[in-house]
Structure 1
Amino acid sequence: MRSHRGSFDTDLVNQAYQAWDAEDWPRAGELLERAVRQAPDARGSDKLWFDAALAYKFLRDWPKAYELGLEAAARARRGKEDPAFWNLGIVATVLRDWATARDCWQGYGLPIPPGEGEILEDFGPTCVRINTATGQEVVWAQRLCPTRARVLNVPLDPGRRFGEVVLHDGVPNGERVFQGQAVPVFDEILLFTPSELPTLSVTVTASAPDDIEALLEAFARDNLGAEPSDTVKPLCSCCSEGSVTQERTVEAGRKSMLLAAPEQRAAELLDRWHAERPDDRSWTGLHPAS
């Protein structure tokens, strides 16, 4: 770790990585920063800056992770998928520093269009493992940038909502396969933008699968959520973090539905759906989910 630009205290670095191995992030971050500031541009300093920033990211100390992440990115090669840019891109997004976030994604090597303000692009479908009051749930989402996605499912836990934007990590932790297309599952870091749409529950009766499809499409046209609650399959953590093939099947009959909509608007859409085929469609018991 020696260079013409100074050297690190190797004992300090060793202590830092002992703390790292023990997941003692406050001590690891503090010691790594102390060590690298002794010789900020010595050989190997890029790794110490990066790991120090990462430790504070684990701590959710975003200002400190940003400060150290800037140092790590300044020593990274642009366009070579250097993780220093990705890590700082996440932190800058949390802090809503959109100029730095754009520069980081471009520095990493991603085709981010030029612009100003919040990044709202279409990076395609993905899945996110969100945190709920009772554990975790994998939901489908649309990626808005490399680290944010808008939830497209109605979560089972009413504490989470259709349409909310979540910030997720950059390393996949599982995958879902739908219609032959594999998409990654990312772990949620935090809720970025809450959704104002409440989660409702209703019981519907339909004579044919097409009747259920018509109801789903009616809500989708209003940018609202609707899905049968029996389509959710519980998985153990080991299976959830593996590759899971999903098939979308809609069955007729009497079933519970989860809706994401203002209650009055949901009732209007349900009434319209019923009126189109009153002998084949009915609904009852619309109420807030709990």
Structure 2
Amino acid sequence: MSDGEATEDLESAWTALLANQNRLGSDRKLANLALGLIQQMGNGVAHRDVLHALAEAWTPDWRLTLTASSLLVEQAGRRGMDEPTLTDDGPASWAAAALQRSLDALSDAERANADLAGNMYAMLGNALRLCGPGRDAEAQEAFTRAIELDPERGEWWYDAGLLDKWRGRFDDGYAANEQARMRMGPQRPVLWNLAICATALGKAEEAAEIWEEIGVPARLDRSRGMPYVAGLPPMLLRVLSRTSPADGTSSLPDKTVGFELVWIAPLSPCHGVVQSPTFGDAPIDYGDLVLWDGAPVAAHRTSAGDTVPVFPLLEVLRPGSERRWSFVALETEPGAREGLEDALPEGTRVFVQDERVGHHCAACEAGDPHEHEEAVSGAGTVPASGPVPGSVSLVRGKVIVQPTQDLEAFRDAWEAAARARPLSVSLPALYEELGDSKRAGQEHQAWRGIEGKAIRQKAGV
């Protein structure tokens, strides 16, 4: 039988099963058939409602409940752990509710059985972990109960360590993964999580040894007290960011929450220095030393056509010492900002915002068919419009100034560079840092004027 014929047979079986969907809650044989079929068909979004119905209907049958819940947890786990939960109603919460009901229905003897109750508590812990930080204490309790039933189950220690890692409890995460390694051996996922937690805790020597065990040539950087791996290519990190509600010139809705992508110079496979700024309200910025998880959560296609994996942020290990100042400008001639960085003192960087934010959409998370508004492309980006003849162009950006830079010398260079260009620009933070409150106030007023002019142009006034 060809793959096409096998797929067609599965689809036919699924169609026939849906025709008898009203029997799924009472016919154990049909329920088991449905679960087996869902596994064979890849456990997709189309199977979610049937799984939900099965999980709700078969509380007295712990085997059916555990299988249906594990498939729901598998679906929930496809969403990045760094993504905020948009609703309390979804695969993870359905699985958690079903597992808890089934556990409550167990006899005392069944509740003491590690193969039975232990597996259910461990699955409950994973379901609650995927429900988000709001159910963290419940997830911890579920893993604790599983481990108490059988402390030799290394996979339960590992799952408990995953929860601790994502909640920033790196001491507990390190200890849990050590327990997992003692029982499971030097498995790669366990070693990765140990290295991540060791790096977060400043256990540089231990982290370097673990990377070596994985096969990554690492050494101890004694000057920084961190592990170091040479020759790693630049990489992308994503971080949650919120647009400013005062930014009326943005193409994005007010208070949009999404991800910004930043480039990182890696110092090891899980930590490095941020090399591009964030422009919204985000927890990291240029120069910060950050920690990320080793499992990519997305892929980004660069302008050169290369596909680069995107990793999720775990922790800010140390804030950068650079001054990171936002500016806004109006170009009265296209390209007026070009060469601005070259006109400023050595070590200064100038970045211009490219307004691209990956939106969080409840329908996307649920897998429901839908369309986005025209402003957002299928890739989650906002297309840039071309210049209109006779118009002015709004530019938002950040200036990165080295911590050792003499600020009066920088002010003189900045003002000279701005005067030499067909550019109206406002940089209030420079004058605030200099203690020039009068000029800082004028810069804030200029900022509002620049934004106002851009808003009026956008509105066609």
| Matches for 1:86-101 after TM superposition, within 5 Å | 86-101=192-207
CA contact (8 A) 1:153 1:225 kept: no
CA contact (8 A) 2:357 2:380 kept: no
Q: What's the offset of the Cα at 1:86?
A: 0.5
Aligned to 2:350: 226
Q: Deviations over 1:182-237 (max 9, x none)?
A: 2111111122211242332131537564x634224556951x442223x2223334
Aligned to 1:286: 427
Aligned to 1:215: 340
Amino acid at match of 1:65: G
Q: What's the offset of the Cα at 1:166?
A: 2.1
Moved over 6 A (4+): 242-248, 250-253
Aligned to 2:325: 199
2:231 equivalent to 1:126: no
User: Secondary structure of the residue that 1:170 maps to in structure 2?
Assistant: coil
Amino acid at match of 2:191: F
Q: What's the offset of the Cα at 1:85?
A: 0.5
Which deviates the most, 199-208 or 24-33? Answer: 199-208
Structure 2 vs 1, CA of residues 177 and 108 (structure 1 numbering), >3 Å: closer, same or farther? same
Q: What's the offset of the Cα at 1:21?
A: 4.3
Structure of greater Rg: 2
Structure 2 vs 1, CA of residues 22 and 284 (structure 1 numbering), >3 Å: closer, same or farther? closer
Aligned to 2:310: 185
Aligned to 2:135: none
User: Secondary structure of the residue that 2:227 maps to in structure 1?
Assistant: coil
Q: What's the offset of the Cα at 1:31?
A: 2.3
Aligned to 2:119: 14
Aligned to 1:147: 270
Structure 2 Cα separation of the partners of residues 157 and 77 of structure 1: 43
Q: Which has the higher strand share?
A: 1
2:280 equivalent to 1:157: yes
TM-score (normalizing by structure 2): 0.50
TM-score (normalizing by structure 1): 0.75
Q: What's the offset of the Cα at 1:158?
A: 5.2
User: Secondary structure of the residue that 1:191 maps to in structure 2?
Assistant: strand
Structure 2 Cα separation of the partners of residues 88 and 96 of structure 1: 12
Structure 2 Cα separation of the partners of residues 88 and 53 of structure 1: 9
Aligned residues: 268
Q: Which has the higher helix share?
A: 2
CA contact (8 A) 1:176 1:246 kept: no
2:229 equivalent to 1:85: no
Give me the CA root mean square deviation.
Answer: 3.7
- Which runs of 5 or more residues in structure 1 are unaligned? 1-7
CA contact (8 A) 2:177 2:193 kept: yes
Q: Deviations over 1:91-128 (max 9, x none)?
A: 11111111121122222222224554213555222221
2:294 pairs, out of 167, 170, 173, with 170
